[in-house]
A and B are shown apart, each in its own frame.
Chain A
Amino acid sequence: MVSNTIQFLFKNKIYKVKNPDPNETILNYVRDDLKKTGTKEGCAEGGCGACTIVLGELNKNKLIYKAINACISFLPTLNGKQLILVEDLTDENNKLHPVQDAMVKFHGSQCGFCTPGFTMSLFSMYKNYTSITNEIVDEALSGNLCRCTGYRPIIDAAKSLNNKKDQDKFKKNENKIINLLKKIKNTDVEINNRGKMYFAPKTIANLKKILKKYPNAKILSGGTDLSLEVTKLRKQLKTIISINYIKKLNFIKKSKNTIEIGATTSLFDFQNFIKEYFVDFYDVLKRYGSLQIRNVGTIAGNIATASPIGDTLPILLTLDAKVLVQGINKKKIFPLNEFFISYRKTKLKKGEFIYSIKIPINKENIFKAYKISKRFDDDISSVCGSFSFLIKKNKITKAVIAYGGMSEIPKRAMAIEKKLKNSDFSENTFSEVVNLINKDFSPIDDMRASRNYRLSVAKNLLLKAFHEINNKKIIRIN
């Protein structure tokens, strides 16, 4: 069954929108159509958090709450979800929600424009955690900018929620919400709004059919990059296929030697899984955009957009990751190293999509990764360095080194790798070999960093990796 109507839960009622404009953002819909102006536009690119809303989703009969950027999410992606806006938090008697109360009590608002976004981020934190640590606060608010307060009162408000029992109205109405969400018919969606098409198939078979018919369609998962074509470049996306409703694409599987991540697995889910295996990968992911971005963004998306500064890419390169590509007829597997062609170009052909990413686990390898940017939270790397070594009897038997931000694609440092192989694992080796960086890379000057800085940092990150391994300790300030 196919439907041209999306349905979502809002204020305990099921809302239906027939053939919505697939290029309209949730933010514009909320402000212009629902006439709810509490949610603000600060940047229209998911960079400030003023538009933060929370979506409730059913996952195995449990409600999961996620903060997202409404300014870069398309309206049809609301289908099947519960929409929660800042105006909805107060209870039936207009009593403030505990997170709102904390914000008032700790003087967490000044001009107030960013406040609805912060409130929603805090709300989602409150729904997801009982024990509130500094780390959880930093993560929950990593995607919300405030220009007035300097954050201290907001941090205090967040911390005051520690060990507060969740008794809000959403908790009280939980069963009702779950039942209503279950009422929403779970069908494929096909929208045609004056020639603008949107598909949300539920099975891979249907996805293939649609791709066959619309090979030029844009594949949407998190959409944190794709949506910018509409909100920033003011382009029209004629055909969009959302793959988020295909349950089979959302998984993390671990076998003995491999981790496999399905295409629509969110970066947030992945980050929490990978911590156990590659802690530096986790550390870099914590700085990958904001929580709002990581709640929807995916590794597959990062690979498909092939940005030279995509933060997961150099790491996946060093980990010898492989990309599983699904065509209409067959599956192909590419070592990531061979997947990138040139600036934002990959071997992904029309009608194909990324099915999963496979990461081998090799416990003998020593792995280090670092992201360097102007700002700690939610910034784009000037340089991202990733290193993997196999060291036997103080000899380097294998070195895999990759950098982001150093060339038009994320790239391995082949000259350095070659020189390191079979060398002693010593300071001499490394201080000599770093000079080959100029051979491997010729980075550019831009607003993020100069060529000189990039070269200098790329060298130093390799040295840092050496010293950290050599001294068996972490040498970082964060």
Chain B
Amino acid sequence: MRNEKLIKEQSIPHDSATKHVSGFANYTDDISEPLNTLHGAIGWSKKAHAKIKKIDLKDVKKSEGVISVITYNDIPGRNDVGPVFDGDPIFPKTKVEYFGQPLFAVAATSTELARKAVLKAKVTYQDLTPIVTIEEALKKNNLLFDPRIIKKGDPQNKINKSKNKLKGSFNTGSQEHFYLEGQVCLVVPKEDNNLLVYSSTQHPSETQQIIAKMLKQKSNSITVMVRRIGGGFGGKETNFMTSAICAMLSHKTKHPIKLRLDRDDDIIITGKRHDFYSEYEVGFNNDGKINGLKIKLASRCGMSPDLSYAINERALLHIDNAYYLSDLEVKNYLCKTNTSSSTAFRGFGGNQGMMAIENIIDNVARFLKKDPSDVRKINFYGQNKRNITHYGMKINDNVIQDIFKSLLIKSNYKKRYKKIRNFNLKNKFKKKGIALTPVKFGISFTTIHLNQAGALVHIYTDGSIHLNHGGIEMGQGTHTKIAQLVANSFGLPFEKVQISSTNTSKVPNTSASAASSTTDLNGAATLNAALKIKLNLNNFIKKKYNIFSKIEPIYKNENIYFGNRSFNFKKIIQEAYLNRISLFSSGFYSTPKINFDKKKFKGRPFYYFCYGAAVTEVTIDTLTGENIVDRVDIVHDAGNAINPALELGQIEGGFVQGQGWLTMEEVVWDKYGKLKTFSPSTYKIPAISDTPKEFNVEIFKKGSNVENVVNKQKTTGEPPLMLAMSVFFAIKDAIASVSNYEKTPELDAPATPEKILLSVNKIKNLIL
């Protein structure tokens, strides 16, 4: 019985794994170029804030191999790639607003020649003062939107009445996505001005719309196809500049165009994670329970809104993390700066909000000289009371206490906590630290209409299944998981199901593969399509074979069972075809129950929550600030996982990406707004020896989903990133040991060796 174990819930390797390891998985840059393909390159601004006086492109046009040059003058329609709001001109007319802003583009006979040509432009600027930091923007009140204030209860009064009070400020840094495959697009012109667009994007539908608007054409003239992308992490959710410019070059030259950004250009031109600055005032009891919290959250949004509103909103929605905050006020400032437009990045603001509250809890615990894990526990949301969030949503799936308890035991936290304190007494230069941090992360797009998905399922006459859905395969294994669901639904082996490129002409009006919800939404839409086909088939079989019982047929082992009668799947498909039964269907899904009033900041923005927790132990060198992650223990809720191996991959990978964000990854702009970290030689993402020396990850054994999500799974897209908060607070714990835990270290993220050493020095009162 080959199919006895459900095909779902098996750790099948990624459906492209064999191709990945043998070099035959094609990415956009690997697609065979059609005859006469030209290659693009973008010329960009060398100033962060300036009036454009003149762009002299004479030498560019004369440069070897150049066929065409485009500027804003060539754009027939909308000169903007902003997804929600305007503000991201493809080529600005009068003013540049960040270092790296595209100004023009060329098409040449080779990539090399195109890239050489753009360097020959002579641009004269009239300097304007750039605003680079959050601090400067706040001072000058340079904001993208009016400040947003949310309030619950009477926090000031609660703070005033509290036994203990603390004030402070905190920063978390930006982060470059550093997807290994950079931004790349291939556009092939077709008849009637139609364009076929291959793009490395998380959002084919929006790519289609933006190109259509730019060219003043209808959406039905643009088709976008994506087989797979080499990592996205939010960096390809918007960032439509590459595909728009590529399409514009193709439109103008009538040639196929490939535009692949060089790594430096990619990092310089495209947006990154929002840095956040927070100021807080908190009142709390002697046991650490928070009574009232006032917090100011300001973020560096860059030169345009892009997705900053939604990202900041998610920060506001996650300022509680797993904690009940009875009385709360948050003031949110979206700072406009002369830097690339900050954009989506795994966590999408949620992680920045969570770091703010975790830092407060940590400081409260250190003030009270308590184990921070105890203070965390005491503030957790309750099961039956203390279970309404600050936006009025009742939490009915809370498993954080369970996870916390199981992790305490699994990691032997309390014993190690003591052991580490002993170690630190005995060691002068090397210090250890440990921290346990929880994660609660809300799942759904907070823009409600985006929570929909479509799919298209075909059964061919040989019984093989082909399917498309709106989700993008970016490494997370969504195609594998959805194929597992479909194979299971039809009772077929996994190999019988094939998913091909995501294609706007097969499934229209898709949402971005984002918000961790790709498999939830597209999986459900696909199963909906499968169900419709199955209903056709069932009716056909019943009618043809005179089956009158109401019994539900079972699809299993390549057969369809009606009670004790069985029909071979392949045979019945052929028969159905000959009897003119439809063997394909579209499917649709929209998430139920959710609603959110953005003005009142009230409602149920999330279908469900993901939970997890991590314990991390680190060692720091107090002479150099170097640090090492000795051990990590994680318990993470993946619900009833469709493919445990792939979920494990998301959890571990998310953790290390978060570790990078909070430790070594440092985006640096100089005071003129020039980005100084734009290549792997200057920007450091975690490498092999940064992997925790001991890494114990457990998928929460009791995991399920109280809501009706496919397979009762819980997504593992973004939430595991936040497990890495434990690394940061373990480092802080190690620094605190320098003062024998008398003082609270001042430490901002990322905790680079430099920040660690300066914090150690400060605590030793050894400020240089």
Contacts and interface: CB of A to CB of B under 8 A. Distances in A.
Contacts of B687: 142, 145, 151, 375-378
A477 interface: yes
A142 B688 contact: yes
Interface string A315-337: 00000000000000000000000
23 contacts: A35-B32, A38-B22, A40-B181, A47-B680, A48-B680, A110-B476, A111-B180, A113-B231, A141-B688, A142-B689, A145-B680, A151-B687, A151-B691, A374-B684, A378-B687, A380-B682, A447-B666, A453-B625, A453-B754, A461-B624, A477-B430, A477-B620, A477-B627
Interface in A78-98: 85-87, 89-90, 96
A415 interface: no
A477 B695 CA distance: 18
A111 B21 contact: no
A460 interface: yes
B263 A38 contact: no
A149 B429 contact: no
Nearest to A158: B688
B676 A446 contact: yes
Contact of A377 (B23, B180, B430, B688): B688
B516 interface: no
B315 interface: no
Nearest to B695: A152
B263 A476 contact: no
B626 interface: yes
A442 interface: no
Contact of A467 (B21, B177, B429, B646): B429
B477 A110 contact: yes
Contacts of B654: 150
Interface residues on B, range: 35 or more
A111 B474 contact: yes
Interface stretch (A99-107, A125-133, A360-368): A99-107
Interface stretch (B11-19, B287-295, B386-394, B434-442): B11-19
Interface stretch (A114-122, A207-215, A241-249): A114-122
Contacts of A104: 13, 17-18, 21
Contacts of A426: none
Contacts of A105: 13
A153 B17 CA distance: 13
B768 A455 contact: yes
Interface in B741-768: 752-754, 757-758, 761, 768
B681 A45 contact: yes
Interface of B: 11, 13-14, 16-27, 29-30, 32, 112, 115-116, 119, 177-182, 228-231, 233, 262-264, 429-430, 474-477, 619-621, 623-628, 645-646, 648-649, 652-657, 664, 666, 668, 676-677, 679-682, 684-691, 695, 752-754, 757-758, 761, 768
A432 interface: no
Contact of B652 (A50, A152, A374, A453): A152
Interface string A14-49: 000000000000001000000111111111110110
Contact of B263 (A37, A44, A107, A455): A44
A219 B27 CA distance: 36
Interface residues of A, number: 85
Of residues B20, B26, B27, which shows the largest number of chain A Cβ atoms within 10 Å of its Cβ?
B20
A455 B620 CA distance: 19
Contacts of B646: 107
A45 B652 contact: no
B14 A148 contact: no
Contact of B664 (A45, A147, A375): A375
A344 to B, nearest CB: 16
Interface string A348-389: 000000000000000000000010111111111010000000
Interface string A55-88: 0000000000000000000000000000001110
Nearest to B691: A151
Contacts of B116: 234
A36 B24 CA distance: 9
A91 B698 CA distance: 37
A376 B263 contact: no
A475 interface: yes
Contact of A37 (B29, B652, B666): B29
Contacts of B22: 38, 86-87, 89-90, 96, 100, 119
Contacts of A137: 688
Contact of A464 (B29, B623, B656): B623
A456 B29 CA distance: 46
Given A148-B649, A448-B682, A112 B768 contact: no
**Chain B binding site: helix, strand, loop or mixed by DSSP?**
loop
Contact of B624 (A145, A150, A457): A457
Tell me what chain A mostly uses at the interface: helix, strand, loop, or mixed: loop
B200 to A, nearest CB: 10
A230 B475 CA distance: 32
B17 A147 contact: no
Contacts of A150: 652-657, 686, 691, 695
Given A147-B231, A377-B687, A45 B263 contact: yes
A213 B19 CA distance: 50
A447 B20 CA distance: 35
Contacts of B17: 103-104, 107, 109, 112
Given A107-B649, A477-B620, A464 B429 contact: yes
Contacts of A478: 626, 628, 689
A463 interface: yes
A232 interface: yes
Nearest to A99: B21
Contacts of B27: 40, 113
A146 interface: yes
Given A152-B695, A375-B664, A448-B682, A113 B180 contact: yes
Contacts of A475: 429-430, 621, 623
Contacts of B682: 380, 447-448
Nearest to B697: A152
Nearest to A455: B768
A306 B684 CA distance: 23
Contact of A477 (B475, B628, B679, B685): B628
B231 A148 contact: yes
Contacts of A460: 623-624, 757
A461 B621 CA distance: 11
Given A100-B22, A107-B649, A376-B690, 13 more contacts: A35-B32, A41-B29, A103-B20, A109-B17, A110-B653, A113-B179, A145-B685, A152-B652, A375-B690, A447-B666, A449-B754, A476-B621, A477-B628
Nearest to B681: A47
Contacts of A48: 180, 263, 680
A400 B463 CA distance: 78
Given A114-B180, A455-B768, A43 B688 contact: no
Q: Which of B178, B263, B657, B676 has the most CB of A within 10 A?
A: B263
Contacts of A154: 688
Contact of A85 (B23, B429, B695): B23
- List the 6 shortest-distance A-B pairs measured between CB atoms, nearest first: A38-B23, A113-B230, A111-B475, A47-B680, A150-B656, A112-B20
B21 A113 contact: no
B180 A145 contact: yes
B652 A147 contact: no
B516 to A, nearest CB: 15
Interface centre among B229, B654, B757, B761 (most CB of A within 10 A): B757
Nearest to B688: A141
Q: Among the interface residues B648, B686, B761, which one has the most CB atoms of the partner chain A within 10 A?
A: B686
Contact of A452 (B627, B657, B758): B758
Contacts of B676: 446-447
A155 B429 contact: no
Nearest to A289: B681
Contacts of B181: 40, 42, 111, 113
A96 B27 CA distance: 21
Give the interface centre of A145, A370, A467 by most chain B CB atoms within 10 Å.
A145
